[in-house]
Amino acid sequence: MENLAILSLASAAARHASYRQSLAAANIANADTPGYRPVDLPVFSVDRGVPLRETRAQHVPLGGSAGLVPGLMVEVLPDGNAVTLDVEMAKAAEAELRHDLATTIWQRGLGLLRMAVANR
């Protein structure tokens, strides 16, 4: 049953990353639109009431970061546009990495599930 939960989690993470990349693309497309303000999603998180632990030095510190550029000051152009192309490109790249991770987890979880069913 836990394998099904991991598949559900991986699917939700992939959808979130896909939508976040779409928003970054829309922000980039509107980089010259006067008055446009970039739109973003909060970082994907899962709070299932299970306490997380750092068991290896390579683990990301608990709490994570809100993005690739913490504390970034957003420059608003005289026409009111607040899109920063470097930031949006970084968001799109981060979303792609997170989507790739989620699909890898999905594929591995599905493989484990298939192996468990085949060995019955």
Looking at residue 33, the DSSP 8-state letter turns out to be: S
The verdict on residue 5 lying in a domain is yes
The verdict on residue 40 lying in a domain is no
SS (H, E, C) 55-75: CCCCCCCCCCCCCCCCCCCCC
SS3 112: helix
The verdict on residue 81 lying in a domain is yes
Please tell me the pTM assigned to this model. Answer: 0.69
- For the stretch 83-98, pLDDT in tens is 989 999 999 999 999 9
The verdict on residue 45 lying in a domain is no
The verdict on residue 59 lying in a domain is no
The verdict on residue 93 lying in a domain is yes
Q: For tokens 């497309």, what's the residue?
A: 29
> Domain count of the chain?
1
Q: For tokens 């509107």, what's the residue?
A: 30
Residue 54 pLDDT grade (very low, low, confident, very high; cuts 50, 70, 90): low
The verdict on residue 19 lying in a domain is yes
Q: For tokens 């792609």, what's the residue?
A: 96
Phi, psi angle pair for 111, to nearest 5°: -60, -40
Structural domain of residue 92, as residue ranges? Answer: 1-32+76-120
